[in-house]
Structure 1
Amino acid sequence: MKLSTSYKDIWKVSLPIIIGSAAQNVVAMTDSIFLYYRSEDDFAAIGFVATFYIIIAAIGFGFSRGGQILIARRAGQRKPKEVGTVFYHTVYFEVFLSVLMFLFMTYGAYWLFASLVDSNVIFDKALEYLEMRKWGVFASYLGVACIALYTGIARPVFVVVDTFILAATNIFFDRALIFGLYGFPEMGIAGAGLASTIAEYVALLVFLIYMAFDKKNRIYNIIRLPKYNPIIIREIFSLSVPIVAMSVVGLGSAFVFFGLVENFGERALAVTNIVRIAYLILSVPAWGFCTGINTLASYFMGRGERGNVLIVLRKTSWLCLGLTTLMILPLLAFPNQVLYPILGDERAYLIELAYPVFWVLWGILVTFSFGSIYFNGLIGAGETKLALKIQSATAALYVVLIFVVVRSSWGNLVLAWSVEIIYWLVILIASLYHFKRKGWFDNSLDRTGKETPK
């Protein structure tokens, strides 16, 4: 493959990933919407437990991104056979990791939820959902390994198709199993967990069939299972651990946020879930661009073109901001009309209560568009340990500030959400400081990152 810093190539890599990276967001959002129509308790509970499961999914995705970065690096170095080797070692690791996560959800989730949730109703419903949802972790982790291959070699188009299959399957089984339609039993929130699990296995099966018939991947030795190499596993692990830790720290702070907001009452948790649905939709472009940046930055580093990394970071940030702004403006102008097709008349009062937070969400997305892109530029460039330090310190500050807001007499939901603006501003400033300190903005570097004559 050959990539440039043009907007065309940024779109070529990022747009399919934007759609494909929505997979877990689509599943979580679909579960939330159908449970919204069932009861307010179910709706509040899914906001809490779905955030927890997204953390589990993010751990697998984080390790796959380590594989993706290595795959892109090997592709940039024009070593196609090593691409296949890295892919299969990513699969080996994901299989092992999925077993560990399944055991944790089986034996550890009860104690974790008990320490965070005050409401017995939310606690019981969260465990009911997870009992069915945990079986999907095996399909989820194998699926992200397949996605890592196709995003790493900048051929992510089929990821879009597979995401649509995932979403359609999840929607069908959500309706069938939550409400007991089409001859299926009525299972409520447990049905949402089972529906999402079935959808992930269907999506994985379709992806594997596609890979079996894809002749273009033959140059990567995909049809041949390589011998286990602990050196490659250590390389993936070394690169991925900071990425996974960053995902856990970032999403973990969001999980703590949901647990603390529950102190405002179950109504506040339901309102927060309305905002979360909007956030899940509106943040899809940013997360997609972030994954694309991992590929682009690693590719240019593999080619020794460091200057091109900054070019794609700048262009991608503005693309992300423009697309996100276009998406949120209708919500700010006509919130009821935008959300009515999704949420209908049932508990429409929650939309009114959530409206002030939507304006805060705009500020979050503006800072998110720049902070997340430059931060993932560090990751793609191989500065994963530094990125972990930045995010850990920032997440600690975030949790402290959230705790202060929630526990204070003057605290409210708007202020609690506003803390995330501070979070992304700190991430952006720290990332820019690193690039500046390392001389990345030196004008004596041309677009290929090589010293120009003086």
Structure 2
Amino acid sequence: MHETTHLKEKWSLMLKIVFPILVTQVALYLVSFFDILMSSRYGSEDLAGVAVGSSLWVPIYTGLAGILLAITPIVAQLVGAKKKDEVKTVVQQGLFLSLALSTLIIFLLFIAIDPILQMMTLEPRVESIARSYVFAMIIGIIPLFAYTVLRSYMDALGKTRITMIITLLSAPINIIFNYLLIFGNFGFPELGGAGAGYASAITYWLIFLIAVGVAHKLQPFRQYELFKNWTSVQFSKWRDISFIGVPIGLSIFAETSIFSAVTLMMSTYSTAVISAHQIALNFTSLLYMIPLSISIGATVLVGYEVGAKRYKDARTYSWLSVGAAVIISFFSACILFFFREQIASIYTTDETVIQLTIQFFVFAALFQLSDAIQAPVQGSLRGYKDVNVTFIMAIISYWVIGLPIGYLLSKYTDFGPFGYWIGLIVGLTAGAITLSARLIRIQRKKREPVL
């Protein structure tokens, strides 16, 4: 990365940083995308089972892995402040912390999965598939978390194209193993929905090993010698990472878990409704990769400028990010609204599920703008290392406002399951407004130093 002086240069650098991140995020998301898509081709029960299993897995992973995203603003600010000698220690301790978090998740999933599934009124086969899917995913937790650290470190150095190339490999790898393990082709066991979990776990191991090789061999990563002269565990560094990372992780958890909570609460509806909801959520989550990628890019760029005490440039990057996301969200909403039937038909041939999905897509189109604002605003706030208030705002917006409204509309109006999506729209809108107000306040506090 480098200092920019003109708006055109800033646009150019932002696109240079964000585009590879977008490809990376889409590639990572395609792992779960193809889990859902290929499971739906195997059968509706397998789709529902993978949907429930994914709803349990995703918020846990994204929440705790979100803690490790603190590596990005920390390293970005160290590089901006020209303190490169401290980068290696931060990343090594991040890897130690990722192992500890992975172990914690594995333990929690083993003791909690059965009680959670038994609380839900699922068909026996759907419950069995969901359990098998989650247990299969456990195999890939350790490499997935470690890769999150390495990816955050590489992104912070501005080398987002490298992480893009590595992660791009995950989609074809996942498709191949899904083809082998879901459908039992070429002599492999036919595991149905559970096979999607094993395919994802194998994929996570392979991209982690590739990332280790890149970090060890290629410049500019090689100069940091990440895997030489390992320091012992330093809990002070864990504290520093967690001080920033825990609010980030909890904010992400608050956002992602609200969608999972809706899925779990909708388990009282038919398998067709659950399947349609999951299809709509799956595709809209794919579209969300665009504002999410802009958000990550904003964290890198704003963090770099804040580290160099160029607060005016940091402010400019913040609002450039929001503007870009809002423009793109308009096209995303149009895609969802005008091509909703064609998109639904990609996932399933079940006419009942298709018609329900079409209705869900109408509501999904409505919250594209709110998503487009709140995501880059959150990313900018992380670049300023302002994360605690953001977490509180996320909790209030999604859990205190969004979910209760959705529940009331679903239970006491004719909206039924669609009431939950109206609640999501209200929650996301509240989040976008409050986070934007917070960003403006932080920017007013941060002014250029007087020379």
SS at match of 1:238: helix
Kept after mapping to 2: 8 A contact 1:117/1:259 = no
Paired residues in the alignment total 445
| Shift of residue 37, structure 1, vs aligned partner | 1.1
SS at match of 1:179: coil
| Shift of residue 57, structure 1, vs aligned partner | 2.2
Superimposed CA distance per residue, residues 219-271 of structure 1 (whole angstroms, 9 cap, x where no aligned partner): 33324334233322210011111111112222222111001122232221111
Q: Which residue of 2 aligns with 1:191?
A: 195
Structure 2 residue corresponding to 1:394, chosen from 391, 394, 397: 397
Instruction: State yes or no: 1:209 paired with 2:207.
Output: no
- Relative to the length of structure 2, the TM-score reads 0.93
More divergent stretch after superposition (207-216 vs 323-332): 323-332
Q: Is the alpha carbon distance of 1:391 and 1:220 closer, same or farther for their aligned partners in structure 2, counting shifts above 3 Å?
A: same
Q: Which residue of 1 aligns with 2:337?
A: 332
Q: Is the alpha carbon distance of 1:117 and 1:142 closer, same or farther for their aligned partners in structure 2, counting shifts above 3 Å?
A: farther
Distance across 2 between alignment mates of 1:141 and 1:436: 33
Kept after mapping to 2: 8 A contact 1:93/1:233 = yes
More divergent stretch after superposition (218-227 vs 136-145): 218-227
SS at match of 1:222: coil
Q: Which residue of 2 aligns with 1:361?
A: 364
| Shift of residue 118, structure 1, vs aligned partner | 4.2
Q: Which residue of 1 aligns with 2:101?
A: 97
Superimposed CA distance per residue, residues 334-393 of structure 1 (whole angstroms, 9 cap, x where no aligned partner): 3344454x336x224423322232222122111110122112322221111111111111
Kept after mapping to 2: 8 A contact 1:3/1:9 = no
Instruction: State yes or no: 1:376 paired with 2:353.
Output: no
More divergent stretch after superposition (69-78 vs 326-335): 326-335
Distance across 1 between alignment mates of 2:34 and 2:351: 18
Unpaired segments ≥5 residues, structure 1: none
| Shift of residue 217, structure 1, vs aligned partner | 1.6
Distance across 2 between alignment mates of 1:334 and 1:107: 42
Instruction: State yes or no: 1:238 paired with 2:265.
Output: no
RMSD after superposition: 2.1
Kept after mapping to 1: 8 A contact 2:17/2:160 = yes
| Shift of residue 328, structure 1, vs aligned partner | 4.4
Q: Which residue of 2 aligns with 1:300?
A: 305
Q: Which residue of 1 aligns with 2:435?
A: 431
How is 1:88-237 mapped onto 2 (pairs within 5 angstroms)? 88-228=92-232, 229-237=234-242
More divergent stretch after superposition (319-328 vs 150-159): 319-328
Q: Which residue of 1 aligns with 2:13?
A: 9
Counterpart amino acid of residue 312 in structure 1: Y
How is 1:240-255 mapped onto 2 (pairs within 5 angstroms)? 240-255=245-260
Q: Is the alpha carbon distance of 1:385 and 1:403 closer, same or farther for their aligned partners in structure 2, counting shifts above 3 Å?
A: same
SS at match of 2:42: coil
Structure 1 residue runs of 4 or more that deviate by more than 4 Å after TM superposition: none
SS at match of 1:256: helix
Q: Is the alpha carbon distance of 1:425 and 1:159 closer, same or farther for their aligned partners in structure 2, counting shifts above 3 Å?
A: same
- Relative to the length of structure 1, the TM-score reads 0.92
How is 1:63-78 mapped onto 2 (pairs within 5 angstroms)? 63-78=67-82
Superimposed CA distance per residue, residues 122-178 of structure 1 (whole angstroms, 9 cap, x where no aligned partner): 322210111211111011001111101111111111211222211111100101111
Structure 1 residue corresponding to 2:34, chosen from 11, 30, 33: 30
Structure 1 residue corresponding to 2:281, chosen from 276, 279, 282: 276
More divergent stretch after superposition (323-332 vs 198-207): 323-332
| Shift of residue 323, structure 1, vs aligned partner | 2.8
| Shift of residue 452, structure 1, vs aligned partner | 8.1
Unpaired segments ≥5 residues, structure 2: none
Superimposed CA distance per residue, residues 36-95 of structure 1 (whole angstroms, 9 cap, x where no aligned partner): 111111112212211221123213431221111111110111111211221111111001
Q: Which residue of 2 aligns with 1:85?
A: 89
